[in-house]
Amino acid sequence: MVRRADGAPRGPRTLTIGVFDSGVGGLTVTADLRQALPDARIVYLADTAHAPYGNKPPDQVVELVLAGLDRLVEAGADVLVVACNTAAAAGLAVARSRYPVPVVDVVAPTARAAIDRLAAAGAVGRPIGVLGTAATIAAGVYPRALSAVAGATVVGVAGPELVTLVERGTTTGALAGAVVRRRVAPIVEAGVGALILGCTHFPFLAPAIRAAVGDAVPLVTAGPGTAAATAAAVGREVAYGPRPASRDLLATVDLRCTGDPRRFARTVERLFARAGAGDLSRPMPGDHRLPVTV
């Protein structure tokens, strides 16, 4: 049985998952966590006061990640999900040595999923594209992970402005399409057999990315593999229930942020187009339990 930092046991029906990201991107992973573990309590912390992480030095990212994960452990998390590639690249090893609960990252599960998708598409031997933040690409975490799995060749491209587009809620239209096409052009030219969306913000841009790379290239996101890895970390079976609608997902997640909660709420509203989202225009439950900055 998993125990919290305070030593209190948690039964199988009261599992608490702490999800951390610099902003809204980790909500794409949270949707898969809710589908895989429908009875779990999910506490989501967005470090919006310090986002984005992709342009920060690794030491600073580690400091911010640990501060955020500390808050999630204090909130009773039985397992921590670092739903940010940049955060995982910089701080995963330190986090795993710091906490008495499992720490799940997005990189390893996504790399394994990419190899599976490459094989399913009959494209074994072709390179795998990775679209990520500058920090994730510079850290080389996906080439290492993919090499460990199957020795795959990787074409990595940084798209830092894509995170900004998502955080502003600009995921469709001419601007988003033009920026995405410019960034993925080297990946398309390389003839990749699969494309990893190596930032959890990027699934919000999936339609634009799909239009740019074509239908033949599988897009690999972090959510499904990370959800399965989380379930395995706490000894649970994956439920494989219906995927929650946006409205239902947000209603069942304890959303918290370190910055302006109203701004965060507006971004979530735009991205999820949630019907009747007026309640999200107010500070979200739990915000008062966190400081403005971490």
Among 24, 43, 84, 209, the active-site one is 84
pLDDT over 70 for what percent of the chain? 88
Q: Extract the annotated binding site for substrate.
A: 21-22, 53-54, 85-86, 200-201
Q: Is the pLDDT of residue 6 over 80?
A: no
pLDDT at site 13? 53
Assess whether 257 carries a catalytic annotation.
Answer: no
131 forms beta bridges with: 157, 197
Closest CA to 79 of 4, 24, 6: 4
Q: Report d(CA 264, CA 269) in Å as an integer.
A: 9
The average confidence (pLDDT) of the chain is 87
Single-letter amino acid code for the residue at 64: L
Q: In this predicted model, which residue has the larger pLDDT, 263 or 291?
A: 263
- Asked, colleague to colleague, whether 16-105+225-289 and 107-221 share their fold, the answer is yes
Q: Report d(CA 200, CA 104) in Å as an integer.
A: 14
Per-residue DSSP letter, 135: H
Dig out the tokens for 148 from the structure: 């460990």
Q: Report d(CA 208, CA 169) in Å as an integer.
A: 14
Q: Is the pLDDT of residue 123 over 60?
A: yes
The kind and range of the H/E element at 253 are strand 253-257
Tell me the per-residue pLDDT of 152-197, one tens digit each, with 9 for 90 and over.
899 999 998 999 999 998 999 999 999 999 999 999 999 999 999 9
Instruction: Find all residues with CB under 8 Å of 220, minimum gap 6, and list them.
Output: 110, 113, 114, 117, 194, 195, 196, 197
Q: In the chain, what are the domain boundaries?
A: 16-105+225-289, 107-221
Q: What predicted TM-score, i.e. pTM, was given to this entire model?
A: 0.87
Tell me the per-residue pLDDT of 80-114, one tens digit each, with 9 for 90 and over.
999 999 999 999 999 999 999 999 999 999 999 99
The rounded Cα 263 to chain-centroid distance in angstroms is 20
| Alpha-helical segments (H) within the chain | 27-36, 58-74, 85-98, 107-120, 134-139, 141-150, 160-167, 174-189, 206-213, 223-233, 246-251, 261-272
pLDDT at site 273? 66
For residue 221, give Cα distances in angstroms to 65, 107, 188, 200, 234.
21, 10, 18, 8, 22
Could you tell me if 156 and 143 are in contact, meaning their C-beta atoms sit under 8 angstroms apart? yes
16-105+225-289, CATH topology level: Rossmann fold (3.40.50)
Tell me the per-residue pLDDT of 238-282, one tens digit each, with 9 for 90 and over.
987 777 777 778 889 999 999 999 999 989 988 886 333 323 222
**Which CATH entry fits the domain spanning 107-221: 3.20.20.140, 3.30.460.10, 2.60.40.10, 3.40.50.1860?**
3.40.50.1860
Q: Report d(CA 170, CA 150) in Å as an integer.
A: 36
Among 24, 90, 115, 199, the active-site one is 199
Q: Is the pLDDT of residue 9 over 70?
A: no
pLDDT at site 278? 29
Burial (CB count <10 Å: 0-12, 13-18, 19+), residue 292: exposed
